[in-house]
């Protein structure tokens, strides 16, 4: 367990008892801190009873006693309306932080790589950790992905932490510093939580706030907010800056040209890897993820050959353009994580001859904006609560079939894909919808798709 013994005897309030909050409570108890814990939901409060704690309502307590408030990032501390406990803590002058702050300040000598961005940060985090581990470096990944920060095991100066950080977490850091920081991209997101676009950009900028010195700032120049921020970082000085692009050459940066990953850090424009051969990570958005992972691992001192090996052996993340396999020449892709149109666009842009399983609990806007990818789609198979809405939206632009359930849709798509004689047909679940009409989570929906694929594969083997 992470050593927080410097907080022994301190009174620490913990608000929110989900994964990160509960891990914080356990680490603080282990350190000998006095823990005041609260969750607005009774089910959350029940989790601390086995730990010997009684919940303390942080909206009613005496805020002259706590030394700090550790707040779960999902709970608003500023916009749009601060949680009453956070507001009382702020008025009392009590520092408000998150678990990542405690992790990093407890282990200042552990090499730490931090990754943020509107899109792609989970894949980049997982890929970076995979490459480092394959290169023989003891590596843990966590933060906004996987393990909570204080659920990680202690690390040493020869190890490495790879942290995915959301804008919520970045807003709650005061002293945490990172050896290499990566900002993948910025598009409008979570604007209500940051008071608008300027606040959101400001939160992302926080990843670079304390990484001056012999440290690395790795940043895209493919969107306007990031490109502007790169100029600002260069003006400030004091960092090694690596610019990343999948659209244009970058002097002394990392970029993609004609599908090749190019390393120009030394000015040699070295071709590293033909990214079109990385079948498990198709599309320019994944090429950006690869370029960032490459740069982060170079910053950690890994040579290019070991990085290439790691990229090629990376299986991808579950439910994110996850290639399940091929049956009778038909590729199956599980992109259940795509719960809105913007996310589905990435998968639909990466393949052709797609038999598209789409639907679920629709979000505002539905599938508007995906029209540009219709040439890649052979037919749509509509499921869930969005069935009629999406049928109306597609109209005569695409052939479609109302299937209602995932099982019916997958089997229908597979039969059509087998019979139509397309080149490399793809049965793709990229639903552009939430899952809650038929499944408890996008993971459960993706698992169900995987099970259907496995059953179809078994049947195909028996036929042969």
What does the alpha-carbon distance between residue 418 and residue 331 come to, in Å, rounded to a whole number? 10
State the Cα–Cα distance between residues 223 and 227, nearest whole angstrom.
6
What whole-number distance in Å separates Cα of residue 139 and Cα of residue 103?
15
Over residues 383-414, the pLDDT tens digits come to 999 999 999 999 999 999 999 999 999 999 99
Residue 445: φ, ψ to 5°: -65, -45
pLDDT at 127 over 90: yes
Tell me, what DSSP letter sits at residue 454? H
Residue 270 falls in which region: left (phi positive, over 0), alpha (psi -120 to 50) or beta: beta
146: confidence class by pLDDT, cuts 50, 70, 90: confident
Q: What stretches of 59-154 show up as alpha helix (H) in DSSP?
A: 84-91, 99-106, 121-134
3-class SS of residue 70: strand
Helix (H, G, I), strand (E, B) or coil at 119: coil
For position 190, what pLDDT does the model report? 80
Burial class from Cβ neighbours inside 10 Å (0-12, 13-18, 19+) for residue 1 reads middle
351 CB-near residues (< 8 Å, 6+ apart): 282, 331, 333, 376, 426, 428
Does the bond joining 80 to the residue before it have cis omega, within 30 degrees of 0? yes
> In the predicted model, is pLDDT for residue 189 greater than 80?
no
Residue-level pLDDT at 322: 94
What's the whole-number mean pLDDT along residues 153-159?
97
Phi-psi region for residue 361, left (φ > 0), alpha (ψ -120 to 50) or beta?
A: beta
pLDDT at 221 over 90: yes
Confidence of residue 213 (pLDDT cuts 50, 70, 90): confident
pLDDT tens digits, one per residue of 364-388:
899 999 999 999 999 999 999 999 9
pTM, two decimal places:
0.89
Residue 421 has pLDDT above 90, yes or no: no
| Mean of pLDDT values over 202-210 | 95
């Amino acid at each position: 367990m992470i050593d927080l013994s410097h907080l022994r005897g301190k009174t620490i309030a913990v608000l929110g008892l989900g994964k990160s909050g509960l891990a914080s409570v356990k680490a603080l108890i282990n350190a000998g801190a006095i823990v005041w814990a609260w969750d607005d939901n009774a089910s959350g409060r029940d989790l601390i009873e086995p730990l010997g704690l009684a919940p303390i309502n942080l909206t009613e307590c005496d805020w002259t006693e706590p030394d700090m408030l550790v707040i779960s990032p999902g709970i608003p501390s500023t916009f749009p309306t601060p949680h009453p406990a956070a507001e009382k803590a702020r008025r009392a002058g009590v520092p408000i932080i998150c678990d990542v702050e405690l992790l990093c300040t407890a282990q200042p000598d552990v090499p730490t790589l931090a990754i943020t961005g509107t899109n792609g940060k989970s894949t980049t985090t997982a890929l970076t950790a995979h490459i480092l581990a394959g290169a023989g470096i003891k590596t843990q990944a966590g933060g906004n992905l996987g393990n909570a920060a204080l659920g990680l095991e202690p690390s040493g100066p020869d190890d490495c932490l790879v942290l995915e950080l959301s804008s919520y977490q970045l807003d709650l850091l005061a002293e945490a510093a990172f050896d290499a920081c990566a900002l993948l991209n910025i598009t409008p997101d979570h604007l209500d939580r940051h008071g608008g676009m300027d606040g959101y950009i400001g939160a992302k900028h926080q990843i670079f706030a304390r990484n001056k010195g012999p440290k690395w700032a790795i940043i895209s120049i493919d969107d306007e907010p990031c490109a502007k921020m790169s100029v600002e970082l260069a003006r400030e000085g004091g960092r090694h800056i690596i610019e990343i692009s999948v659209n244009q050459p970058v002097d002394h940066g990392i970029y993609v040209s004609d599908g090749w990953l190019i390393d120009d850090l030394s000015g040699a424009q070295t071709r590293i890897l033909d990214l079109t051969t990385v079948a498990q990570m198709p599309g320019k958005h994944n090429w950006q993820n690869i370029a960032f992972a490459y740069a982060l691992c170079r910053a950690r001192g890994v040579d290019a050959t070991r990085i290439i090996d790691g990229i090629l052996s990376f299986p991808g993340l579950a439910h994110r353009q996850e290639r399940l396999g091929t049956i009778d020449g038909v590729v199956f892709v599980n992109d259940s994580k795509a719960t809105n149109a913007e996310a589905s666009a990435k998968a639909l842009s990466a393949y052709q001859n797609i038999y598209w399983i789409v639907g679920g609990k629709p979000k505002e806007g539905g599938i508007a904006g995906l029209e540009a990818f219709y040439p890649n789609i052979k037919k749509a198979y509509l499921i869930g609560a969005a069935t009629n809405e999406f049928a109306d939206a597609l109209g005569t632009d695409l052939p479609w079939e109302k299937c209602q359930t995932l099982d019916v849709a997958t089997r229908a798509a597979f039969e059509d894909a087998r019979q139509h004689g397309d080149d490399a047909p793809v049965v793709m679940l990229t639903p552009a919808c939430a899952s809650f009409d038929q499944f408890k989570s996008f993971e459960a929906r993706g698992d169900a798709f995987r099970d259907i694929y496995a059953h179809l594969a078994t049947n195909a083997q028996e036929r042969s």
